Amino acid sequence: MLAGRRALITGASGGIGSAVSRALGAAGVAAVLVARRPGPLDALAAGIRGAVPFAADLTDAGAVRALVDAAPDLLGGPVDLLVNNAGIFTLRPIEETEDRTLDAMLALNLAAPFRLVRALLPAMRAAGRGHIVSIGSIADRQAFPENGVYAATKFGARAMHEVLRAESRGSGVRSTLISPAATDTALWDPVEPGARGGIPPRSAMLDPAAVADAVLWAVTRAPDVNIDEMRLSFA
């Protein structure tokens, strides 16, 4: 069903991103895999048929433009599946949050996906098909202490998804927001999640493969069906 599709996946070398990249690759999708560090990215792409690594700092608007310009040549045609997954995360009270943290999270978690959607959407609309998947979070609908900036970016990404959905009905372009509960990825490495109220230990978190399964399910529905949103929680 997905053979011949051409994807762009951001944050591809991380836990969720690598799981999504492998799942889509196994389904026959050719993909540009995007991450900041070339070493892990190259190693991941080498094990996925049809995958092309592209190292880029998506907080740089010029790097986003270069990626968008290069993707059709790398894939042999225009991108028709975008998975906006890249993100960074820190826990800190609002009054202790530094400008550099605020700016970095806004740039990667919100501005970069917005720029990618803005750049890729016209070709999808012209073709009458395409799918934009946004990886959200439980923090895009629920407030947690010390989560002010991350929640702001995720609430913003949810709003962008909802506006995109409203603007795309009838165009053939589908959009899906997948919002998992806490997922066991390297984002938690600097944190002790089990010691903080409301955050489970990593052993109890979702596996990234569960998020990849949700992505795969959403993008393999019939072309006239849009999965607006999926919320993943602990059983």
- Residue 159 is a catalytic residue: no
Judge whether residue 115 has pLDDT over 70.
yes
pLDDT-based confidence at residue 125 (cuts at 50, 70, 90): very high
Residue whose structure tokens are 């700092």: 57
Query: Which residues are registered as beta bridge partners of 31?
Result: 7, 51
**Residue 193 resides in a domain:** yes
Distance CA 95, CA 195 (A): 21
pLDDT, one tens digit per residue, over 70-104 is 999 999 999 999 999 999 999 999 999 999 999 99
pLDDT-based confidence at residue 194 (cuts at 50, 70, 90): low
**Residue 208 resides in a domain:** yes
pTM score, whole prediction: 0.95
Structure tokens at 1: 């069903």
- Domain count of the fold of the chain: 1
pLDDT, one tens digit per residue, over 175-189 is 999 999 999 898 888
**Residue 150 resides in a domain:** yes
DSSP structural state of residue 109: I
Summary mean pLDDT of the chain: 95
Which residues 6+ apart lie within 8 Å of 115 measured at CB? 61, 64
Distance CA 215, CA 198 (A): 26
DSSP-derived secondary structure for 44-57: HHHTSTTEEEEE--
pLDDT for 44 equals: 98
pLDDT for 37 equals: 95
Give the mean pLDDT of 14-26.
97
pLDDT for 126 equals: 97
CATH number of the structural domain spanning residue 126: 3.40.50.720
* Structural domain containing residue 105: 6-232
Cβ atoms within 10 Å, residue 216: 18
**Residue 24 resides in a domain:** yes
Share of the chain above pLDDT 70, in %: 98
**Residue 53 resides in a domain:** yes
Distance CA 173, CA 217 (A): 16
Of the residues 12, 35, 75, 150, only one is catalytic, namely 150
Judge whether residue 130 has pLDDT over 70.
yes
Structure tokens at 20: 């999504």
Q: What share of the chain is helix, strand, coil (3-state, %, to 5)?
A: 50, 20, 35
Residue whose structure tokens are 């959905």: 165
Q: How many residues does the chain have?
A: 235
**Residue 1 resides in a domain:** no
The alpha-carbon radius of gyration of the chain (Å, integer) is 17
Judge whether residue 230 has pLDDT over 80.
yes
* Cβ(218)–Cβ(231) below 8 Å: no
Query: Which region holds residue 146: left if phi is over 0, alpha if psi is between -120 and 50, else beta?
Result: left
Give the mean pLDDT of 219-226.
96
Give the mean pLDDT of 39-44.
98
